[in-house]
Amino acid sequence: MATRGKNKANIEAVGGKKLTPATQMMGHGYDPFLSEGALKPPIFLTSTFAFESAAAGKRFFEHITGKRQGPADGLVYSRFNGPNQEIVEDRLALWDGADDALVFSSGMSAIATLMLALVGQNDVVVHSGPLYAATETLIARILSRFGVGFVDFPAGATREQIDDVLARAQALADEKGGKVALVYLESPANPTNALVDVEAVRGARDAAFPGDHKPAIAIDNTFLGPLWQQPLKQGAELVVYSLTKYAGGHSDLVAGGVAGDQRLIDIIRPMRNTIGTICDPNTAWMLLRSLETLELRMSRAGENALKVCTFLRDHPKVEGLGYLGFIADPRQQDIFDRHCSGAGSTFSLFIKGGEEESFRFLDALKIAKLAVSLGGTETLASHPAAMTHLSVPDERKKALGITDNLVRISIGIEDADDLIADFAQALDAV
H or E segment to which residue 240 belongs: strand 238-242
Cβ-proximal residues to 29 (8 Å cutoff; 6+ apart), any chain: 8, 10, 86, 87, 89, 90, 91
- Phi, psi at 108, each rounded to 5°: -70, -30
How many Cβ atoms sit within 10 Å of the Cβ of residue 74? 18
- Contact at 8 Å (CB) between 218 and 176? no
Contact predicate 385/397, CB 8 Å: yes
Q: Is 392 left (phi over 0), alpha (psi -120 to 50) or beta?
A: beta
Catalytic residue list: 79, 132, 220, 245
Give the torsion sign (CA, 184, 188, 189, 191): negative
What are residue 282's phi and psi, to 5 degrees? -65, -45
User: What span, in angstroms and rounded, lies between the C-alpha atoms of 235 and 254?
Assistant: 28
* Closest-CA residue to 262 (of 151, 411, 97, 26): 97
Strands (E), 81-226: 100-104, 124-129, 149-154, 180-186, 216-220
d(CA 410, CA 380): 5
Classify residue 306 by burial, with Cβ atoms within 10 Å: 0-12, 13-18, 19+. middle
Q: Rounded to 5 degrees, what angle do the CA atoms 382, 388, 390 make?
A: 115
CA-CA distances (angstroms) from residue 279 to 339, 371, 394? Answer: 30, 23, 34
Give the span between the Cα atoms of 250 and 376, in whole angstroms. 5
Query: CA triplet 346, 349, 350: central angle to 5 degrees?
Result: 155
